[in-house]
Amino acid sequence: MTLEEALAQLEAHIEPGRAEQMASYHKQKRVVLGLPNPAINELTQNWRQALSVEERVALADQLWQTDIFEARLAAAKLLTQARMRPDADAWALIQSWVPAFDSWAIADHACIAAQKRLVADPARLGQVEDWTRSEHMWTRRAALVATLPWTKQNHPKPEDLERRDRILGWAAGYVPERDWFIQKAIGWWLRDLSKHDPDRVRAFLAEHGEAMKPFARKEAARYLPKETPDDQLPA
């Protein structure tokens, strides 16, 4: 499939009047076509089935370079697949996108693709740790969004518990930052973890909760078991 064919298929699903609403909601200065997310999902699912891994990576690269909002979403969705062999080129391409993140929707879709590649090869967490030291806020945030799978295991292996604690260490390092998106990411990571490992969330809040922004602290504690008395959480 050529880039021109892919763009034509995307443009065929444009809904009149939707582009302006989306551009305003997502605060986009780039071109926004005005496609509903289900249409992008259906198209990219079909493309994944029809294209080889090499072809998907090449098309994803081309779509991303257009800098069209929905094309960047489609690029990320093309690489959002648990089983992808070989996946080194896909992982390298996703990493190349991270410094260009500038809005949550594009960043989050790309981070979902990154999640699949990190679960496939957890040794890549070493590369993600480099993101935590970036001066680019969206790159630092991506380190937490891309590692959300480590919040979701009910019976993690010892090595996954070590990874969980490693990522919590990154989150702790972010606590002094006042940026809303960083604080939101901390709260999001802890909130998801609380469903599976509430003790670690309690311990994190006991040590760092007072330094978090109130909304992030509230988000982190949202799903803690009801038997946890409110007076045991930081004020």
Retrieve residue 85's tokens: 């062999």
Residue with tokens 């008395």: 229
Residue 228: predicted pLDDT: 44
| Contact indicator for 121, 114 with CB cutoff of 8 Å | no
pLDDT tens profile 205-230: 999 999 999 999 999 999 998 754 44
Q: How far apart are the first and last CA of the chain?
A: 56
233 pLDDT higher than 60: no
Q: What is the mean pLDDT of the chain?
A: 95
Q: Where are the domains of the chain?
A: 1-103
Percent of the chain with pLDDT over 90: 95
Please, what is the Cα angle at 25 between 144 and 80, to 5 degrees?
45
Over residues 182-204, mean pLDDT: 98
pLDDT tens profile 59-118: 999 999 999 999 999 999 999 998 999 999 999 999 999 999 999 999 999 999 999 999
Phi-psi group of 64: left, alpha or beta (phi > 0 → left; psi -120 to 50 → alpha; rest → beta): alpha
- Give CA–CA dist 184/106, Å, rounded: 16
| Contact indicator for 188, 201 with CB cutoff of 8 Å | no
- Give CA–CA dist 185/220, Å, rounded: 10
155 pLDDT higher than 50: yes
